[in-house]
Amino acid sequence: MNTRRTSAQIGDLPPVGRPANNALLEAGITTLAEVATHSRRDLLALHGVGPKAVDILAAALAERGLAFAAS
């Protein structure tokens, strides 16, 4: 039996995986609006957030008419 649990969805963020969820939570990022205040580079610098998670976040931002902050 697997006792590892995946993190619950955070705010309105799309599912990006447990390591990325944990990194975003640790950075105090819980909404897409908060994601939009960070650059792609800033998010990639967080341990646990990789290119796949950033691409998922970018798509979710675009759906809401938002984008990452400029670098």
Angle at 40 between CA 71 and CA 25, to 5 degrees: 120
CA separation for the pair 13, 41 (Å, rounded): 18
Q: Is the pLDDT of residue 2 over 80?
A: no
Q: Which CATH architecture group holds 33-71?
A: Orthogonal Bundle (1.10)
Q: Which of 13, 12, 11 is nearest to 49 (CA)?
A: 13
Give the model confidence (pLDDT) of 36-71 as tens digits: 999 999 999 999 999 999 999 999 999 999 999 998
pTM score, whole prediction:
0.87
The encoded tokens of residue 26 equal 């640790």
Radius of gyration of the chain from Cα atoms? 12
